[in-house]
Amino acid sequence: MTGLAAVPPMGWNSWDVFGTSVTEAETRANAEFVAEHMVGHGWEYVVVDIQWYDPAARAGGYNSGTKLALDEYGLPQPAPNRFPSAAGGAGFKPLADYVHSLGLKFGVHILRGVPRQAVAADTPIKGSEYSAAQIPDRERRSSWVDDNWGIDHSHPGGQAYYDSLVRQFADWGVDYVKADDMIAPYWEDEVEAFWHAVARADRDIVLSLSPGMNLSTDHAEHLKAHSHLWRVSADLWDRWRDVNAQFDLLREWAPHAGPGHWPDADMLPLGRIGIRAEVGEARESQLSPDEQRTMLTLWCIARSPLMVGADLPASSAETIELLTNPEVLAAQRHPVGAREVWREGKHVAWASEDGAFAAVFNRSPDAAEVQLPWHVLGAARPERIRDCWTRSDLVPGERLRAKLPAHGSALFRLSLRGGGVGHPLHELDDDAVGVGGLEVALAPLLGLDRRGDRDPFGLHARVLGVDVLDDERQQQAVGGSLRALGLEGGQARAQEDHVEPGVGAGEGHEAVGGHVLGEAVVALEELGGGGRVGDVKRDGGRGDSHGRSLAGPVSSYAVYCT
C-alpha cells in the first residue's frame, strides 16, 4: 500500500443525498457526472455508503432487524433489487468495472463487526476453519444500527472474517473502504484487524475510518499507522454550527496531516441533498454562498479530504463551479502543511508553513475587515497576491487586508520575492534546470497551458515523461521542482531506453524525435489518472539537452494524460 493517498482523497459519496437507500442507477449517474465535469480537478472516488446490502432500505434512517443480503459465508452482498448488476452472485464487480471504465475509482461503506444474521445462521468463515458463531462480541455493538455484533479479536476467526470480507472487496475491484463505527468509541483492536486485512488484500485499497465524535489526538499516531484517513467529527450537515465547530477540530488535527494519513472534516453537504437522507427533506444546501466558500476554504487550507454528498446531476452550475475552482483546490493539494496562526474573537487566519497560501475567516454574524501584518502569516511582504476565489491579482500592501461578509472567508496565494513554492506559476527555464523546454513539458502541472482549462494545475494528471536527463544535478533539480509543486513522490531519473526516429514506442507511449514518452525521465507515482499518454504538444526549435536536433524540429513537449 506504499504511496496510497499521497494527497487527500476527493470524490462523491451517496450518504448526504440518498441515505441508506442509494441505487445503482443513482450511483452510475453521479459517476458519469464526475467523469464528465470533475475528474480533471482531482475528483476521482465514487463511494456507495451504508446498507447497500439491505433490500428494504428506506429514507430517513435505518431498519431494525432487517433481513440482509448475505452469501453462504455471511458476507454482505449488494441488494439486487437496488443494484441489478449484482444479481447471480456478481457482487459489486460490474458496477466497479463501470466506474473504472470512466477513469474513476470505486468505494464502499462497511460497518464494523460481523452480521447478526450470519452469527444466528453460524455461517462458515470463508478460507478458514472457523464459523460466525465463534466470533461475536455482543457487548461491543453499534449504538445506532443493529445490523452487526462487534468481533472478539481474541479468537482467530475474527481476523479471518475481516480477511475474507476485504478479499471479497478486492475481488470486486473496490479501491476505497469507509469502515464505520470504528473510532467512536475507539476500538483499537478492530482498527488494527481491519487494517491488517486491507494490507493483506491483493489490491491497493484506501482505508477511511468513521465516525469521529470526541476523538482525541492521543490516537493520532495509531490512526496514522492503521488508516489513510479518519473522521474527526460527527456527521456534518448543512448547518453553520456544524461548519463552525470544525475550526477548533482542524486546529488540533491539521498538524497530523501528511501523505498517506489525513484527518477528515467530513463530507461536503453542498448542492442538491436530502432526497432520501437521514436528516431533512430534499433541498438545496442550506448553507449560504459565503458559508459554502468558508467550508471549502477551511477544508482546503487544512488539507482535509473532500467528499461531496450531492446529487450532482441535479445540482446547480454554481455548486459545480465552487467544487472545481483549481486555485482553491491547489491549497488542498499543496505539499506543505498549514496551521491556524492567529485568532482574535470570531476572526481566524491560517497559513501554509512555506508562505504559499493564506486564508482569513470571519466566524461572526456581522461583516468585518481583517488586517494582519505579514509576519503573523510567517511570510515577508509578497510581490503579488492572488485571490483564489475571484481568480484575480491584488497589489500587496503593508498588511494583508480582507473585507469579509458574515461567516465569510478569503483564500490567497502569495508570490514570494525571488519566486519559490509560493509563486502562483512555478516558472522554469533552461539555465535553471538544464533541460530544453522543460517549462513547456510541465505545462499541465503549472497552468501555463490551460488547454480549455482541462486539469490546469495538474491536480489529477500523471505525467509519464519529459526530456532526457543524464546529469545528477539536473535530475535533482527537476525532482525538487515537482515536489515543490505539490506532487508527492515526484522524482527525476535518467532515461535508459531510446528509439530511433519513426520507431514505435509501444502501447501507451508516443515517440517524439527519437525519445520515448512513457517510462521516461520524470515518473510521478501514485497520483491517479489512467497513465495513458494523450496529446503531445510540440514547441520551440532548439535541440534537446544533448544538443541533438529533434524531428520536427521539437525541443519541448507537454504530456497530457487521461
Q: Strand locations in 303-398, DSSP E?
A: 306-308, 338-344, 347-352, 357-362, 368-373, 384-387, 392-394
C-alpha cell at 518: 512513457
Q: What would the grid cell of residue 217 be?
A: 489526538
Neighbours of 106 (CB within 10 A): 26
Q: How far apart are CA 45 and CA 445, in angstroms?
A: 21
Residue 47: alpha-carbon gap to chain centroid:
12
Residues 294 and 409: their CA atoms lie apart, in Å, by: 5
Query: How many residues in the chain?
Result: 562
Digit-by-digit pLDDT tens for the chain (562 residues) are 558 999 999 999 999 999 999 999 999 999 999 999 999 999 999 999 999 999 999 999 999 999 999 999 999 999 999 999 999 999 999 999 999 999 999 999 999 999 999 999 999 999 999 999 999 999 999 999 999 999 999 999 999 999 999 999 999 999 999 999 999 999 999 999 999 999 999 999 999 999 999 999 999 999 999 999 999 999 999 999 999 999 999 999 999 999 999 999 999 999 999 999 999 999 999 999 999 999 999 999 999 999 999 999 999 999 999 999 999 999 999 999 999 999 999 999 999 999 999 999 999 999 999 999 999 999 889 999 999 999 999 999 999 999 999 999 999 999 876 443 333 222 333 332 222 233 333 433 333 332 233 333 333 333 323 332 334 444 444 444 444 444 433 333 333 332 222 222 233 333 222 222 222 223 222 233 332 222 222 233 222 222 222 222 222 222 222 2
Q: Are 342 and 349 in contact (CB under 8 A)?
A: yes
Parallel, antiparallel, or unpaired: how do β-strands 176-180 and 206-209 relate? Answer: parallel
Sign of CA dihedral 503, 508, 512, 515: negative
293, 360 contact by CB (below 8 A): no
pLDDT per position as a tens digit, 521-543: 232 222 333 322 222 222 332 22
Q: Which of 348, 360, 363 is nearest to 400 (CA)?
A: 360
Dump pLDDT digits (tens) for 414-423.
987 644 333 3
All residues at 6 or more sequence positions from 347 whose CB lies less than 8 Å from its CB, including other chains = 360, 361, 362, 363, 364, 368, 370
CA 426 to chain centre: 23
Cis peptide before 136 (omega within 30 of 0): no
SS3 439: helix
Burial of 495 (0-12, 13-18, 19+ CB in 10 A): buried
| Cβ proximity of 236 and 265 under 8 Å | yes
Cα–Cα nearest to 206, from 283, 163, 262, 141: 262
Question: CB–CB of 396/385 below 8 Å?
Answer: yes
Which is it for strands 206-209 and 229-231: parallel, antiparallel or unpaired?
parallel
> CA-CA distances (angstroms) from residue 331 to 42, 158, 399, 404, 459?
12, 41, 21, 20, 11
List of domains in the chain = 10-333 (3.20.20.70), 357-415 (2.60.40.1180)
Q: Which three cell numbers stand for residue 33?
A: 457526472
